[in-house]
Structures are given as C-alpha cells and as structure tokens.
Amino acid sequence: MKRLLLVVFLAGCAAQTPHPEHETGSIVGEVGDPRNRARLHTELASLYFSNGNMAVALEELRAAAEADSSYAPVHGMFGLVYMRLNENGRAEESFERALRLSPNDADINHNYGWFLCQTGREPASIKYFLHAIRNPLYPAPWRSYSAAGQCTLKMNRTKDAEAFFERALKLEPDEPASLLQLGQIRYRQGNIGEARKLVARHNKLVNPSAESLWLALRIERRLGERLQEQAFANQLRRRYPASEEFYALQRGLYD
C-alpha cells in the first residue's frame, strides 16, 4: 500500500496538484469498500497537505474518518496537519490514536517521534524513531536515523548523534540533513577536509540553506581559500540577508 505519511523535518515532499475532478468530501465515481474510500481520501489529504492547503486536507481527512475511523493513517495524517497548524493537543491525540490502531506502523512512529522532538520532549522521541527502524518493511530507515541524530543533538549528545548520522548515510549517502549535520560535527572536531566534502555534497543535492552556506564559508576561511570564502559570503548575503548567519558574518563572529 502506498505510504501516506510525510516527514515533517527532513526534505519537503514534491508539490502535487489533486485531480481536477475532485471536489472536497467526495470523489467522482467513488466506489469500493469503506477502507478503500478512507485510503483514497487520506491520499488526497496528503496531497493537499504537501501543497500547504490545510483546510481542504482537514476536510478530506474528516471524509476519510467517516468512511473508516479504524484506518490508522487517517489519524496519523490528522496529527501532521494539526502539527503544522500548531494545534499540538489535537496533534498528539491524533498520533496516539493512530498508534493504538497500528502500533508498528513505521511512518506513524517516525512522525510522532518528530512531533515529540519539536515540542521539547527529545528524550521520549528517540524510542519512536528506533521502533520505526526496527520494522523490516520500513522503506526509508535512514529518515529515522537522521531525525534521531537531530533530536539527540538538541540534547547535546554529540557522540550519539554522530553515530545516528553515520548510520543514516551508510543506508542513504545522499540524505541531506545527515550530510549537513555530520559536516557541522566534523568541523567542530577539526576535521576540516571531511567537513568540506560533506557540506559540498549537501549543497549539490539541495538548495543551500543559510546554515549550509555559513558552514561552507567558515570551512573555506579555515583553509585560507579567500576567493571561495567570499563566494559563499556573497551567496549568503544575496539569498539570506535577514538570517542569523548573515548577522554573524557582518560582525565577524565565525566561531
């Protein structure tokens, strides 16, 4: 079955436009058993969520729940939408209901772990990431290793975070968040050459962020490569003039 739930901190999903024949709450020619209708409405909700249309996503999810309230991905998707809307009480209730219905669902475990991490409960989040990883049918365990690394960093457990990022990259060498965060760790460790390789790979895979440009700039500064340093400074100024990183650059706060 197509996986529906999305990763909220790692890369955003590709924008998709729902089918033009669809109208909120109904599907033209809608047929099938209640579970299939719930699945279809949840898939549509996922597309609207990826496009940033939370209102219609919620309407689709209500239609899905009306068709089959025991379909766990409906409630997991509700959790993501409410999380995006900063309705944390409803988000938590939805994630917990989804897990009661399907306790071993890797996507739901991952997303609930990320929710806990983003709401100041980093220690509690790790067990959900690890539970997701232990599911042998989980197609993207590197996502959860990367998320666990990011949440572990927030607890100032750098060594454990390093191990999580390394595991993520062993499974998926092009996992952007792990490349950047491991690059940050290598920079702080003084392994400038490895840090340079990691951030360069990250910046080739995705549009450079203020964080990744700032890291690349400081690496080139450490290496004495003034032309490259200036090139990254120009990109940072052009792309992210309101960022904390550009503020630090203006004041010479490199480390």
Does a structural domain hold residue 42? yes
Number of domains comprising the chain: 1
Does a structural domain hold residue 251? no
**What CATH number is attached to the domain comprising 41?**
1.25.40.10
Does a structural domain hold residue 96? yes
Does a structural domain hold residue 16? yes
Residue 92 belongs to domain spanning: 1-103
Which DSSP category does 104 fall into?
A: T
Cβ atoms of 174 and 182 within 8 Å: the answer is no
Tens-binned pLDDT, residue by residue, of the chain (255 aa): 444 444 333 333 333 334 433 444 444 445 579 999 999 999 999 999 999 999 999 999 999 999 999 999 999 999 999 999 999 999 999 999 999 999 999 999 999 999 999 999 999 999 999 999 999 999 999 999 999 999 999 999 999 999 999 999 999 999 999 999 999 999 999 999 999 999 999 999 999 999 999 999 999 999 999 999 999 999 999 999 999 999 999 999 998
Does a structural domain hold residue 61? yes
| Other beta carbons less than 10 A from residue 136's beta carbon | 7
Full-model pTM: 0.84
Does a structural domain hold residue 207? no
Does a structural domain hold residue 88? yes
Does a structural domain hold residue 38? yes
